[in-house]
């Protein structure tokens, strides 16, 4: 079998997605997700101009060799653009390999280790009544765990909080130019423990609750928040402090037993090395799309398993159904599965990317279709072209830019 074509499809059915479609001389095709929120065209160009021409003529069954060739052959290694491009190729080749074998991808990854994949959903509110309504909605959808994000008194817009309950998830992150959000760490640290106290009082002690601090705290502030949240027994506190400086988590870990999840912005195992070997975190958060594909992510999970750390693949609305499908195949197969984030998609997105994976009663299953189980409706994709869209920027009250 030989690759005869590799093309990049950029579409925007409510938000931008970048998809790689590889076609072989035997007519078998494979899809890969290359979506990098706010920098989509950089990855599309990397694939279209530098990778696709190199794929034509190679044997698509050489998944590992192709990955290693793209990683080492580029010379300039790592980084979100490079690893998203490599991820798209990796997933498309796994898709082809599994289709050629007539098997769903998870069967090539060791088969099922569980019956279905547990998820968590997003609940947010500008105030407690809105938040409680959102929690009730996610519970009604069957989510077994819920991420809680709240407005902060005195702040106009805060990460993860809709401007009104009926705005689409995409509204949170998609604006034609970066929206400037405001931030006040002291106000946040005062308020968040009161939110979790209220949620526990309303919904009881058992509901698994998660919270995303979204890289905004110093290690000492993260330690304080982790300690303040201990009475509410969180499932995890996510991205409590920017972790490029992995050693920073030593301070946090010394002061709190609140479980920690980190890694959605990480794209190679080196970003995790200290965090994993010193057990400074409890969950690794990278997505198939941003970590170079299924091949390296399964290796990361095996590495993490040696340190009792579990998977928690990133699954917001800016991971396309192609990336989500690949994730759910991995989720079903790996032993140290933790949880899968699933924010859902717009109805149009489900039409553009028809997928075999199902979301039922708060749980995902990849389905039994050969490959990753996704079909791209290219005509509908073409009808919704790329729209310039950027992530917000965060600024403190004095105007200083801050982590978003
Ligand atoms: C968030 C993401 O889902 C999460 O945990 O951190 O929604 C993140 O803000 C977006 O993926 C950024 O594109
Ligand atoms: Mg996050």
Does residue 166 surpass a pLDDT of 80? no
Q: Name residues contacting ligand 1 (CB within 6 A).
A: 37, 173, 212, 214, 238, 264, 316, 318, 341, 391
Q: Distance of CA 377 to CAs 102, 349, 384, Å? A: 22, 10, 11
In this prediction, residue 162 carries a pLDDT of 84
Per-residue pLDDT reduced to its tens digit, 349-368? 999 999 999 999 999 999 99
Neighbours of 75 (CB within 10 A): 5
**Residue 92 is inside which H or E element, if any?**
helix 80-101
In this prediction, residue 168 carries a pLDDT of 55
- Number of the ligand closest to the Cα of 35: 1
Does residue 171 surpass a pLDDT of 70? no
Per-residue pLDDT reduced to its tens digit, 107-125? 999 999 999 999 999 999 9
Q: Ligand 1 atom 6: the closest Cα is on which residue?
A: 214
Per-residue pLDDT reduced to its tens digit, 11-37? 999 999 999 999 999 999 999 999 999
| Among the listed residues 89, 73, 207, the one whose alpha carbon sits nearest the alpha carbon of residue 146 | 207
Q: Rounded CA gap, 177 and 17, in Å?
A: 17
Q: What is the CATH class of 108-370? A: alpha beta
**Residue 359 is inside which H or E element, if any?**
strand 358-360
pLDDT-derived band at 163 (thresholds 50, 70, 90) equals: confident
- The catalytic residues are 159, 214
Does residue 186 surpass a pLDDT of 70? yes
Token pair listed for 259: 């479980």
Superfamily designation of domain 3-103: Enolase-like, N-terminal domain (3.30.390.10)
Does residue 165 surpass a pLDDT of 90? no
3-state secondary structure of 247: coil
Domains of the chain: which residue ranges?
A: 3-103, 108-370
pLDDT-derived band at 172 (thresholds 50, 70, 90) equals: low
Q: Please state the rounded mean pLDDT for residues 390-397.
A: 93
The answer for residues whose C-beta is within 8 angstroms of residue 181's C-beta and 6 or more apart is 156, 157, 158, 159, 392, 393, 394, 395, 404
CA of 61 to the centre of ligand 2 (A): 34
Strand partners, 217: none
Q: Please state the rounded mean pLDDT for residues 61-88.
A: 98
pTM, rounded to two decimals: 0.97
Same CATH topology for 3-103 and 108-370: the answer is no
CA of 343 to the centre of ligand 1 (A): 10
Max intra-chain CA distance, the chain? 62
In this prediction, residue 167 carries a pLDDT of 62
| Among the listed residues 17, 20, 9, 22, the one whose alpha carbon sits nearest the alpha carbon of residue 40 | 17
Does residue 176 surpass a pLDDT of 80? no
| Mean per-residue pLDDT over the chain, rounded | 96
Q: Rounded CA gap, 159 and 137, in Å?
A: 20
| Among the listed residues 67, 115, 74, the one whose alpha carbon sits nearest the alpha carbon of residue 92 | 67
Per-residue pLDDT reduced to its tens digit, 245-271? 999 999 999 999 999 999 999 999 999
- Number of the ligand closest to the Cα of 404: 1
In this prediction, residue 55 carries a pLDDT of 98
CA of 50 to the centre of ligand 2 (A): 30
By most ligand atoms within 8 Å of CB, the mutation choice from 40, 124, 316 for ligand 1 is 316
More confident of the two residues 158 and 313: 313
């Amino acid at each position: 079998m030989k690759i005869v074509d590799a093309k990049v499809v950029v579409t925007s059915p409510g938000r931008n997605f970048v998809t790689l479609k590889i076609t072989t001389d035997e007519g078998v095709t494979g899809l890969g997700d290359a979506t990098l929120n706010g920098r989509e065209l950089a990855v599309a160009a990397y694939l279209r101009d530098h990778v696709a021409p190199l794929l034509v003529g190679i044997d698509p069954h050489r998944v590992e060799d192709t990955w290693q060739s793209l990683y080492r052959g580029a010379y300039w290694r790592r980084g979100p653009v490079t690893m998203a491009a490599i991820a798209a190729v990796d997933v498309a080749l796994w898709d082809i390999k599994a289709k050629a074998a007539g098997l769903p991808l998870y069967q090539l990854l060791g088969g099922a280790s569980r019956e279905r994949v547990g998820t968590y959903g997003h609940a947010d509110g500008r105030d407690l009544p809105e938040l409680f309504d959102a929690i009730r909605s996610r519970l009604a959808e069957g989510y077994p765990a819920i991420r809680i994000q709240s407005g902060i008194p005195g702040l106009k817009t805060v990460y993860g909080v809709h401007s009104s309950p009926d705005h689409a998830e995409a509204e949170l992150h998609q604006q034609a130019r970066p929206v400037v959000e405001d931030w006040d760490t002291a106000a946040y640290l005062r308020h968040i423990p009161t939110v979790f106290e209220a949620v526990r009082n309303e919904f009881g002690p058992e509901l698994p609750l998660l919270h995303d601090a979204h890289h905004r705290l110093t290690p000492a502030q993260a330690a304080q928040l982790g300690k303040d949240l201990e009475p509410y027994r969180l499932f995890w506190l996510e991205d409590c402090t920017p972790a490029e400086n992995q050693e920073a988590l030593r301070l946090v870990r010394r002061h709190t037993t609140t479980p920690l999840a980190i890694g959605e912005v990480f794209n190679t195992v080196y970003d995790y090395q200290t965090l994993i070997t010193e057990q400074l975190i409890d969950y690794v958060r990278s997505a198939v799309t941003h970590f170079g594909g299924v091949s390296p992510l399964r290796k990361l999970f095996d590495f993490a398993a040696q340190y009792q750390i579990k998977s928690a693949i990133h699954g917001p609305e800016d991971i396309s159904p192609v990336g989500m499908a690949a994730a759910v195949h991995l989720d079903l197969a790996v032993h140290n599965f933790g949880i899968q984030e699933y924010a859902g998609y717009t109805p149009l997105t489900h039409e553009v990317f028809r997928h075999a994976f199902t979301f039922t009663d708060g749980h995902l299953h990849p389905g039994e279709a050969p490959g990753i189980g996704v079909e791209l409706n290219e005509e509908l994709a073409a009808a919704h072209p790329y729209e310039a869209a950027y992530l917000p920027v965060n600024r403190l009250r004095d105007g200083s830019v801050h982590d978003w």
